[in-house]
């Protein structure tokens, strides 16, 4: 039985297969409409979500399967003190696969150790968000043609943004990628990530001003300042609008640059950018369904 805790749980060859499958699902949805007939997905979300939970539910439904779950710890028996270990043992009696989001880093891993069914980490604290990374990689591969040979700017909350941490870990396995980290001093990417890049001899740069590096970028990955991970409101308020990508700033970018964002956005991308052909973040959300369909099929060994 296989789980997904980190994007590194799949080799790059396995990811290629997964993305090929996602592409086939996109082109031929009818072929997969009954692939999960009789199967049940449990979505156990101890933290809020729109995209991840609903794209998992959409994915399983489009595969012919069914979905059970909870979207809030308060409406589950976690509110009475039940442990994640006990919860997953029970969920294993009810479902064939489980997607779990939890505010505590490592909670889905604890669940995987006790589970009788595959567990997918749907985001754990500020740690990892592997299915968002699969979504990001599929978007880049589909829209840029390959996973390598580009300069990517990651902008915003690089300290608490788990999507950024997961994406960098996944991208370091591909060739000729240059990283530009764009953040205020307080929200710099953690040292363990820059140490990892240095140890692998991978080039990166850390800057504060987005405008200065915009013309160099093939991809701009914007992120929200993660309000829920701040210890005090004052710091959040001071930093939340540090970056606002608007049409004027985007005018400095290459014509073929893509703007990605895991969403939800708050103010960091102005709505006037949404109609620019470089704005790829809503397409990215759609790719999230195809890649989760491919992932469910793969983990259930139905591909």
Q: Please list the active-site residues.
A: 51-52, 80, 101, 129
Q: Is residue 224 within the footprint of ligand CP (CB under 6 A)?
A: no
Is 71 near ligand CP (CB under 6 A)?
no
> Any contact of residue 79 with ligand CP (CB under 6 A)?
no
Q: Which of 43, 49, 71, 87 binds ligand CP (CB under 6 A)?
A: 49
Other beta carbons within 10 angstroms of residue 190's beta carbon come to 14
Name residues whose C-beta falls within 8 Å of residue 187's C-beta, 6 or more positions apart in sequence: 156, 157, 158, 159, 160, 225, 239, 242
Of 12, 50, 79, 176, the one binding ligand CP (CB under 6 A) is 50
Residue 257 to residue 242: CA distance in whole angstroms: 22
Is 183 among the residues that bind ligand CP (CB under 6 A)? no
Question: What count of Cα atoms within 13 Å lies in the side-chain half-sphere of residue 178?
Answer: 9
228 binds ligand CP, rule: CB under 6 A: no
Least distance from C-beta 216 to ligand CP, angstroms?
26
| Residue 72 contacts ligand CP per CB under 6 A | no
Of the candidates 263, 289, 294, 296, which one interacts with ligand CP according to CB under 6 A?
Answer: 263
Q: Is 87 in the site for ligand CP (CB under 6 A)?
A: no
Residue 121 lies near ligand CP (rule: CB under 6 A): no
Looking at the Cβ atoms of 3 and 129, the one nearer to ligand CP is 129
Environment class of 52 (CB within 10 Å of its CB; exposed 0-12, middle 13-18, buried 19+): buried
Q: What is the spatial distance between Cα 53 and Cα 49, in angstroms, rounded to a whole number? A: 6
| E strand map for the chain | 40-45, 66-70, 97-102, 119-124, 150-155, 177-182, 204-207, 219-222, 258-260
* Residues near ligand CP (CB under 6 A): 49-52, 123, 132, 262-264
């Amino acid at each position: 039985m296989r789980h997904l805790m980190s994007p590194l749980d799949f080799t790059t060859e396995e990811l290629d297969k997964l993305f090929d499958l996602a592409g086939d699902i996109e082109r031929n949805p009818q072929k997969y409409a009954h692939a999960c007939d009789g199967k049940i997905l449990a979505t156990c979300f101890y933290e809020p979500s729109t995209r991840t939970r609903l794209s998992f539910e959409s994915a399983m439904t489009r595969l012919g399967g069914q979905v059970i779950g909870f979207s809030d710890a308060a409406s589950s028996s976690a509110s009475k003190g039940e442990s994640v270990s006990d919860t997953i043992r029970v969920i294993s009696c009810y479902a064939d696969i489980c997607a779990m989001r939890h505010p505590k880093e490592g909670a889905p891993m604890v669940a995987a150790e006790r589970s009788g069914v595959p567990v997918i980490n749907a985001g754990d604290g500020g740690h990892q968000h592997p299915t968002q990374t699969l979504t990001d990689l599929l978007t880049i591969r589909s829209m840029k043609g390959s996973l390598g040979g580009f300069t990517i700017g990651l902008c915003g909350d690089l300290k608490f943004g788990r999507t950024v941490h997961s994406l960098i870990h996944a991208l370091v396995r591909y060739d000729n990628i240059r990283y530009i980290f764009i953040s205020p001093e307080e929200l710099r990417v953690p040292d363990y990530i820059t140490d990892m890049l240095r140890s692998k001899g991978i080039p990166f740069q850390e800057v504060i001003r987005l405008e200065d590096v915009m013309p160099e970028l093939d991809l701009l990955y914007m992120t929200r300042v993660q309000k829920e991970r701040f210890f005090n409101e004052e710091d959040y308020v001071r930093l939340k609008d540090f970056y606002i990508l608007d049409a004027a700033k985007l005018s400095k970018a290459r014509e073929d640059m893509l703007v990605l964002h895991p969403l939800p956005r708050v103010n960091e991308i102005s709505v006037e950018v949404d109609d620019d052909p470089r704005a790829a973040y809503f397409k990215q959300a759609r790719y999230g369904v195809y890649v989760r369909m491919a992932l469910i099929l793969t983990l259930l060994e139905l591909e």
